[in-house]
Amino acid sequence: MEDDNVFRKVEDDYGNVDPKKEKQQEEKEEAKPEGGSSMKYFLITVAIIILMLVAIFGIRYVIKPNEKLETVSYNNFTFVKNGPLWYTNWKDSQGQVFTIPLHFNPKQAENVTISGKLSDKFNYNNIYVTHDPAEYGLEYVNVASAELAMNLATALDMNLTAACARNETEPCSSRPIKSCSSNSSVIYIKEGGETAINLNNTCITLQGEQGELLRAVDKLLYVWYGIIKP
């Protein structure tokens, strides 16, 4: 299943998965029957990755400048690059500290354009994260969706539901079908076009070519974290 790639990719970025183990896992998946059994394994994988990332977000430590690691200061936050990700400590309204990992630091993401306006009906506590399964570049869509979902659900404590814009693949057969025309609060992840964030009533569209899509995702997250001013 194409959507399973997101979890293997997230493990690679956050946990340095052994390629041999990953290949063995892929061979096992190919041998699985389709239908209910494959969805069962899919949901188990989801749970494992969520637990892994919750552990990452729950780590508490004071980030200090390190001569061996690249650091960036922005709006009273210190960002440290370790591997492919940038880390900083962020405190929520309850005083809990989260170590948040993103692909871009705020200086790299700040010039992503945000246009339009959200309606007062946008429900931050019931958001559908959706994509078009027929679009190309799903590898980047999957990674962007995972990075967005883990930040919103864990640190920002928002309720999210994985959705599809169209019912064209086996994973989408059991998911809600939501698009910007739906009467719901939606974040639409789109690979392609100019790097941008478009706000339209109850829909947020995040778009960009390949890795630029991640930059759009990170800009939205930095705004919602209050690190970058809108």
Q: Are strands 203-208 and 127-130 parallel, antiparallel or unpaired?
A: unpaired
What's the token pair of residue 75?
């709006």
Beta bridge partners, 117, equal 200
Distance CA 58, CA 37 (A): 32
Whole-number pLDDT of residue 67 = 63
Q: Tell me, what's the pLDDT at 103?
A: 95
pLDDT digits (tens, 9 = 90+) for 68-102: 889 999 999 999 999 899 999 999 999 999 999 99
Q: What sections of 123-193 are H helices per DSSP? A: 138-150
Tokens 């239908």: give the residue.
35
Residue 116 to residues 20, 107, 178: CA-CA distances in angstroms?
46, 22, 20
Read off the pLDDT of residues 40-57 as tens digits, 9 standing for 90 and up.
Answer: 444 444 444 544 454 444
Q: What is the mean pLDDT of the chain?
A: 79
Q: What residue spans define the domains of the chain?
A: 2-225
How wide is the angle at C-alpha 157 spanned by C-alphas 86 and 99, nearest 5°?
A: 25
CA 29-16-7 angle, 5° bins: 40
Whether the model clears a pTM of 0.75, i.e. scores above it, the answer is: no
pLDDT tens-digit readout, 9-47: 333 443 333 333 334 444 444 443 343 444 444 444 444
